[in-house]
Amino acid sequence: MDAEIRESAVGGRVDAPPSKSYTHRAILAAGYTDGETVIERPLVSADTRATMRAVEAYGGTVTETDDELSIQGFGGRPETPADVIDCANSGTTIRLTTAAAALGDGLTVLTGDGSLRSRPHGPLLDAIHDLGGRAESTRANGQAPLVVGGPIEGGTVSMPGDVSSQFVTALLMAGAHMEGGIEIGLETELKSAPYVEITREVLADFGIDTRSTDAGFAVADGQSYAAADGRYRVPGDFSSISYLLAAGALAADDGLEVHGAYPSAQGDAAIVEILDRMGAEIAWDRETGVITVRRSALSGVEVDVGDTPDLLPTLAVLGAAADDEMRLVNAEHVRYKETDRVSAMADELAAMGARVEETPGSLTVHGGDTDLRGARVDGRGDHRIVMALAVAGLIADGGTTITGSEHVDVSFPDFFGELAGLGADVQTTE
């Protein structure tokens, strides 16, 4: 699908979409229970459907109703799947459910699309092996397809922290069902650390106590997953909110309100503070969950994206509209997402007239030397690249066509509908 966006103003009110990160974790946490859990206001998207399929493959059931999921858990010992688990394009799904597979008695095969099969899983496979499980990459390169079996026992493992925080999340979630629990030591600095805090927040809501240690994180055994009153409500997603706030800061003369933006462990809530540092007229009422933003003159700043890699595409676009240099640093790990997001944003913004420089660990956008113009750009099969480029299209001279725009279904299925509802000149074609 192509999406064409023409220079246009936006404004009004929009509700924050539910969080993909919380939805993934809540679905699997509900799968780890021995009973039924209702997840309220989940994000139902291509990625979270992959996690639902994995829960069902392990013996749980997932039933969709209006704005809710009803999940019957498989408990602490998943069944051996009758078929390969296809995680599609969801790195979160394959990593979290790989650790779940290691709790079972049989073998599980997990794979995904071409992009997913290029992403690294080696540290997680090594940890499962060290805990007594079987964990192999069929191509012996740490990438899917993966073959995983157990049951593993608890204990102490160590792993690098600078590849993916999802490895820590996967082991923490499974650890409550391991005999003896688990202690995870980190050999290097933990990147994307707020995502582990999201995991710990969800686990606490399901009755699982985790703790931070001098070396890393730990969870004790003998705990049972159970949400209070059998229900869990998913908060709004600040990764998705970032595109709405960027659109407001660039194109909302009369202001834009985002509702449902309540405080949580999400690191991407930093978008509010970053926009404020750039000079945006922005205000966040944390009690009511409402953020208000309007078109503002922006100045470039330096942002360390070590803990907020998903913000890099949004921030790159904001930098193209700023009056001077925007530097995004500590970005090496952003190259290992659905695509190399550093190079993708550098190339596609350059195609729209931006002056951009990249190094292995940084992206610099020279907004003062940039006048964005409409162009035909490639969404790279990556939902975050597509949405960021759509925001750029709001202020580019002429029309911008984004190929592969259907990939917004991964995290924000109604993105283009919401953008149009705010006044943007948007058309999509198959």
- Whole-number Å distance between alpha carbons of 42 and 64: 10
CA distance 386 to 406: 9
Q: Any idea what DSSP says for residue 79?
A: P
The annotated binding site is made up of 20-21, 25, 91, 119, 164-166, 192, 310, 337, 341, 384
Q: CA 321 from chain center: how many Å?
A: 25
Residue 409 Cα distances to 123, 236, 417, angstroms = 29, 16, 12
- DSSP conformational letter for 309: G
- Residues 150, 141: Cα–Cα separation, whole Å: 21
CA atoms lying within 13 Å on the CB side of residue 328: 35
Tokens of 369: 């030397």
Residues pairing with 108 in the sheet:
148
Total length of the chain: 430
| DSSP SS3 for 28 | helix
- Under 8 Å CB-to-CB from 339, ≥6 apart: which residues? 115, 380, 381, 382, 385
**Helix H or strand E encompassing 399:** strand 399-403
Which residues define the annotated binding site for phosphoenolpyruvate? 20, 91, 119, 166, 341, 384
Q: DSSP string spanning 237-277? A: -HHHHHHHHHHHHHH-TT-EEEE-----S-GGGHHHHHHHH
The whole-angstrom separation of Cα 90 and Cα 166 is: 12
Q: Which residues are catalytic?
A: 310
SS3 content of the chain, % helix, strand, coil (to 5): 35, 25, 40
Give the C-alpha separation, 256 to 117, whole Å. Answer: 39
Write down the H helix ranges in 208-364. Answer: 238-251, 270-277, 312-321, 341-351
Write out the two tokens for 57.
């493959």
Binding residue ranges for 3-phosphoshikimate: 20-21, 25, 164-166, 192, 310, 337
Q: How far is CA 38 from CA 46, 69, 119, in A?
A: 20, 6, 32
